[in-house]
Amino acid sequence: MKNAIGVSLVLAVCMATPAVSQADATTFRVRADGKSRVTFVSDAPLETMTGTSSKVTGSVSVDLADITATKGSFKVPVVSLRTDNDLRDEHLQGDGWLDAKKNPTIHFEITEVVLGKKESGELKKNKDAKVQVKGNFTAHGVKKPVTANGTVNWSGDSLHIKAKFTIVLEDHLISVPSIVRLKVANEIAVSVDLRAVAK
């Protein structure tokens, strides 16, 4: 009888442990409210083009005691990208470039978070934590791994995430026509500034 009770207690603890672990994670949501922004820069020999979108949405699940366990994903509608030139925006969203009709969103999924050398796994309130975020970036329907460097700041009910990374258009089967190769770079610098609020 004592053995049966002991086994029952062990099983109960084992079953409860995953639930406690999951409860430690907090979900923060990014809403398309204009507070978050994605910016891309094409720095070509004859022209520097900057585009932005403030229609970022997504969510991130963070264990504040161990941010290396962070998971999340974010997306941006292709039609929301703006470069301050309506004709250029139309071309960018067209089938020769990002093809918004077939591939309506640009997507980023976090697969791993790596801490800076002097950073602890715990996210401390109102203090920037330097991180390296590895993930999958999908544009034009093509998914490729990327690594971003950035910071995360937790203020209690919200997260402020900043990160930068580079993508290569050819990797996403986007071919720059020869007529504009001096105006559009093959390598695009991407930066994100996200405000996520606890669910």
CA atoms within 13 A on the CB side of 95: 2
Cβ(56)–Cβ(74) below 8 Å: yes
The two structure tokens encoding residue 60: 């991130």
Q: Phi/psi at 2 (nearest 5 deg)? A: -65, -40
The two structure tokens encoding residue 120: 């602890």
Alpha carbons 126 and 168: distance in angstroms, whole number: 34
Between strands 105-115 and 25-30, the pairing is: unpaired
pTM as predicted: 0.84
Buried b (16+ CB within 10 A) or exposed e, 181-192: eeebbeebebbb
> Does residue 3 surpass a pLDDT of 90?
no
Cβ(196)–Cβ(171) below 8 Å: no
Q: What is the pLDDT of residues 73-95, one digit of tens each?
A: 999 999 999 999 999 999 999 99
The two structure tokens encoding residue 150: 């950035």
Domains and CATH numbers, the chain: 25-198 (2.40.128.110)
Res 189: pLDDT: 98
Mean predicted lDDT score pLDDT of the chain:
88
CA dihedral of residues 132, 81, 158, 63 (deg, nearest 10): -40
**Which residues pair with residue 110 across a beta bridge?**
72, 135
> Does residue 7 surpass a pLDDT of 70?
no
Res 30: pLDDT: 97
Which residue's entry shows tokens 């009709």? Answer: 101
CA angle 101, 187, 142 (to 5 degrees): 40
Can you tell me whether residue 178 is helix, strand or coil?
A: helix
Res 18: pLDDT: 40
Q: What is the pLDDT of residues 130-180, one digit of tens each?
A: 999 999 999 999 999 999 999 999 998 999 999 999 999 999 999 888 888
Which residue's entry shows tokens 């918004």? Answer: 100
Res 23: pLDDT: 47
Res 177: pLDDT: 85
The two structure tokens encoding residue 52: 């932005």
Q: Phi/psi at 18 (nearest 5 deg)? A: -60, -35
Q: What is the pLDDT of residues 98-129, one digit of tens each?
A: 999 999 999 999 999 998 777 778 889 999 99
Rounded to an integer, the average pLDDT of 18-24 is 46
Give the CA radius of gyration of the chain.
21
Report the candidate in 23, 18, 86, 17 with the shortest Cα–Cα distance to residue 51.
86
